[in-house]
Structure 1
Amino acid sequence: MTNATATQAGKSRRVEKPAAKKRRGGVTGWVPNQHGAWVMVTLPLVIGLCYAGSLRGLPILVPLVIAWYTGYFAFFAFGLWAKAAAVRKAQYVTPLLVYGGICAAASIAVLAQAPHLLWWAAAFGPLVAIAAFEAIQKRPRSLASGISTVIAAALMVPVAVDAVSRPITPHMMAVTGLLAMYFSAMIPFVKTLIRNRGDQRYVIGSIVAHAVALVITGGLVYFGYLHWFTAVAMGAALVRAWWMPWQVARTGKRFSPKFVGNFEVIFTVAVVIGIALAP
């Protein structure tokens, strides 16, 4: 009886441990846990605010920032709600409604001051629709979802400038394109090291995406829309898009998500430096 009791107790402990771990690591829907997304969501907005650059614009820029972040939080909660089992959907409704309500109120405050910003809905609408469709199909991390999201984030550069009625220059649009290309190419690259490690389709796609981005960046540099250092940054990103998956295939070494994220900071900073060096 003693041995049977001990065995049963051991089985109970093995069953209960994953449940406890799940509770500790659970996602409530209030705070997005996609750490890499924070940079993609924040960087274009910060650059746009720098170009907007006037304290007189605070009455419209403050609600714009609130609308942008709460919109992102609401969409994150929506993604969790869409993929959750029926019994768990209710826990994501409250953050979805709270963030959605704040986003709507802040957006109204922005449009009340600058009604002309409404035309940006023509650009954001299809991108949000693609991401929402992928979430409903339970593919929130698909390439289509990721790329549509980062393009929408990049558009915050001209939106912030347009909000204060400053002219959107060709340089600003070149920066918007640069950010969209860099982050879009980063998505398949990260997949080659983590979720789709060893899948040659992603490796080839990542390298091609970086190569195309480098060529376009070089063209923008040639015509004077970007600083030459941005091409250097994109060239370095292309090299790492080839080298790191090659190292994984050659040595069998795996890069941890934390290492990949920290290493990516170097290239993101290089892109920002290139943008900051523009006259």
Structure 2
Amino acid sequence: MSQSRPSGPSQRRVERISQQPEAAEPAPLEDAAPSDPPAPRSAPSHQSRPGPADDIMLSTGKPQPSPKPTQEQIRQQPGRKAWVPNQHGAWSMLVLPPVVGWVVGGFSWVNLIFLPAWWGAYLTYWAWSQWLRTRSPRKRALLLLPLIIYTGWTALLGLLVLLAAPYLIQWVVPLAPLFAVAAHQVWRGHERSLISGLATTSAASLMAAVTYSLAVSGAGGFLGTANVASLPGSSPNGALTGWQWMWLVTGLTAAYFGGTVPYIKSMIRERFNYPLLTGTVVAHSAVAAGVVWAATGGYLPWSHAALWVVLALRSLIMPLWQWHLARTRHRPLRPGTMGVVEIVMCVAFLVTVATR
């Protein structure tokens, strides 16, 4: 099989003619018509960078639900906060003291009117406090309706209570200064101060003595200072009876609710406040020591003394644990969790006072 050498490159030149017409020569610069300057391009609109919500939507196909409003945002809604107080701890002090008076003295039918009047009084105080601290006319207009309704409700029921039990007018003497202190703190914008909390809890604790007064139909003289025999209620050793025992129980009720004011502050608003924590622990320890001493003499049940020892330990351990969670995990205990603990303590307080 023969093999030929490849031929060399062809010497022929192939000329390709373009089918497109030649472009016209540009006109001289001096002959060109002046044109308008080009319009500036509009700047692109601002667009935020994608964040975690966009990542969730891209991965799941569903937009991230809007977060629930915080307590501070709820407090900034005047129409809502005037109807429903956001002081969740107040509900226990509105219920427990009257029940303590029933347990010691018994139930009176006037309580069916007095309790709604007492709850209406607190709601009236709350509505007025919100109205006083609000300076905007628009927000005050939103607060006007609940203020009028709660005030009228309290005035009507209060009048019925006084008609049924006129001897209750004497309780204005200890309650008026406490309400004046609380109102003054609201006027100054310090409704969450320690003084305001102690004044309101003291007034609420007096409801134990008021319901006891209803149970005994006003017997016992002015504010229960007279020694009247055969009144219900007595200490375990029988040395304290009637109003003597009731005033001791009322004082313990005030000590419990008064102690919750700095305790809750150290858990939420006053975290890492060591002077406040020290004062809280000292106050609880002093009451616990007094209750243990009274229990040794038979004036108080030992179960109640044990409860106060637990309360004293709680006033130290719970805030320190809360501070540890806030430092390390940045997720402290929620107010709802603390509320459940306080409900348990309230039930234990009632049960231990009622036992002999």
User: TM-score with structure 2 length normalisation?
Assistant: 0.68
Where does residue 106 of structure 2 map in the other structure? Answer: 53
Cα offset, 1:49, TM superposition? 3.0
Say yes or no: does 1:38 pair with 2:91. Answer: yes
Give the number of the structure whose residues are more often helix, by fraction.
Answer: 1
Stretch deviating more after TM superposition (243-252 or 197-206): 243-252
Change (3 A) 1:220 1:156: farther
CA distance in structure 2 between the partners assigned to 1:170 and 1:119 by the alignment: 18
Stretch deviating more after TM superposition (210-219 or 104-113): 210-219
Superposition pairs for residues 88-167 of structure 1, below 5 Å?
88-164=139-215, 165=217, 167=231
CA distance in structure 2 between the partners assigned to 1:2 and 1:261 by the alignment: 55
Stretch deviating more after TM superposition (98-107 or 116-125): 98-107
Which whole-Å deviations, capped at 9, do the CAs of 1:142-163 have from their partners, x for residues lacking one? 1111111111111111111212
Asked whether the equivalents of residues 117 and 153 of structure 2 are also in contact (C-alpha less than 8 Å), the reply is yes
Q: Once superposed, what is the RMSD of the aligned Cα atoms?
A: 2.6
Asked which structure has the greater CA Rg, the reply is 2
Where does residue 269 of structure 1 map in the other structure? Answer: 347
Where does residue 116 of structure 2 map in the other structure? Answer: 66
Which whole-Å deviations, capped at 9, do the CAs of 1:175-203 have from their partners, x for residues lacking one? 11111101111111111111000011110
User: What code does the residue aligned with 2:353 have?
Assistant: I
Change (3 A) 1:223 1:136: farther
CA distance in structure 1 between the partners assigned to 2:290 and 2:208 by the alignment: 19
Q: Which of the numbers 223, 233, 257 marks the counterpart of 2:335?
A: 257
Asked whether the equivalents of residues 206 and 241 of structure 1 are also in contact (C-alpha less than 8 Å), the reply is yes
CA distance in structure 1 between the partners assigned to 2:266 and 2:75 by the alignment: 29
Cα offset, 1:70, TM superposition? 0.3
Stretch deviating more after TM superposition (123-132 or 241-250): 241-250
User: What code does the residue aligned with 1:181 have?
Assistant: A
Where does residue 4 of structure 1 map in the other structure? Answer: 45
Asked whether the equivalents of residues 229 and 274 of structure 1 are also in contact (C-alpha less than 8 Å), the reply is yes
Cα offset, 1:103, TM superposition? 1.0
Change (3 A) 1:24 1:117: closer
Asked whether the equivalents of residues 171 and 226 of structure 1 are also in contact (C-alpha less than 8 Å), the reply is no
Q: Which of the numbers 227, 241, 246 marks the counterpart of 2:320?
A: 246
CA distance in structure 2 between the partners assigned to 1:50 and 1:107 by the alignment: 23
* Gaps in structure 2 of 5+ consecutive residues: 1-41, 52-65, 220-230, 232-241
Number of residue pairs the alignment of both structures matches: 267
Where does residue 14 of structure 1 map in the other structure? Answer: none
CA distance in structure 1 between the partners assigned to 2:174 and 2:254 by the alignment: 14
CA distance in structure 2 between the partners assigned to 1:176 and 1:230 by the alignment: 14
Cα offset, 1:267, TM superposition? 2.4
CA distance in structure 2 between the partners assigned to 1:241 and 1:227 by the alignment: 22
Where does residue 188 of structure 1 map in the other structure? Answer: 262
Asked whether the equivalents of residues 41 and 150 of structure 1 are also in contact (C-alpha less than 8 Å), the reply is no
Say yes or no: does 1:29 pair with 2:82. Answer: yes
Which whole-Å deviations, capped at 9, do the CAs of 1:22-43 have from their partners, x for residues lacking one? 4798334112221111001111
Change (3 A) 1:78 1:222: farther
Stretch deviating more after TM superposition (38-47 or 223-232): 223-232
Stretch deviating more after TM superposition (157-166 or 69-78): 157-166
User: TM-score with structure 1 length normalisation?
Assistant: 0.86
Cα offset, 1:120, TM superposition? 0.7
Change (3 A) 1:51 1:250: closer
CA distance in structure 2 between the partners assigned to 1:111 and 1:162 by the alignment: 13
Q: Which runs of 4+ in 1 moved over 6 A?
A: none
CA distance in structure 2 between the partners assigned to 1:103 and 1:224 by the alignment: 41
* Gaps in structure 1 of 5+ consecutive residues: 11-16
Q: Which of the numbers 254, 271, 276 marks the counterpart of 1:202?
A: 276
Change (3 A) 1:23 1:119: closer
CA distance in structure 2 between the partners assigned to 1:147 and 1:23 by the alignment: 25
Superposition pairs for residues 70-85 of structure 1, below 5 Å?
70-85=120-135
What is the DSSP-based 3-state SS (H/G/I as helix, E as strand, rest coil) of the residue aligned with 1:139? coil
What fraction of aligned residue pairs are identical, expressed as a percent?
A: 31
Change (3 A) 1:191 1:118: same
CA distance in structure 1 between the partners assigned to 2:168 and 2:119 by the alignment: 17
CA distance in structure 1 between the partners assigned to 2:168 and 2:184 by the alignment: 25
Which whole-Å deviations, capped at 9, do the CAs of 1:64-84 have from their partners, x for residues lacking one? 112100001101111211222
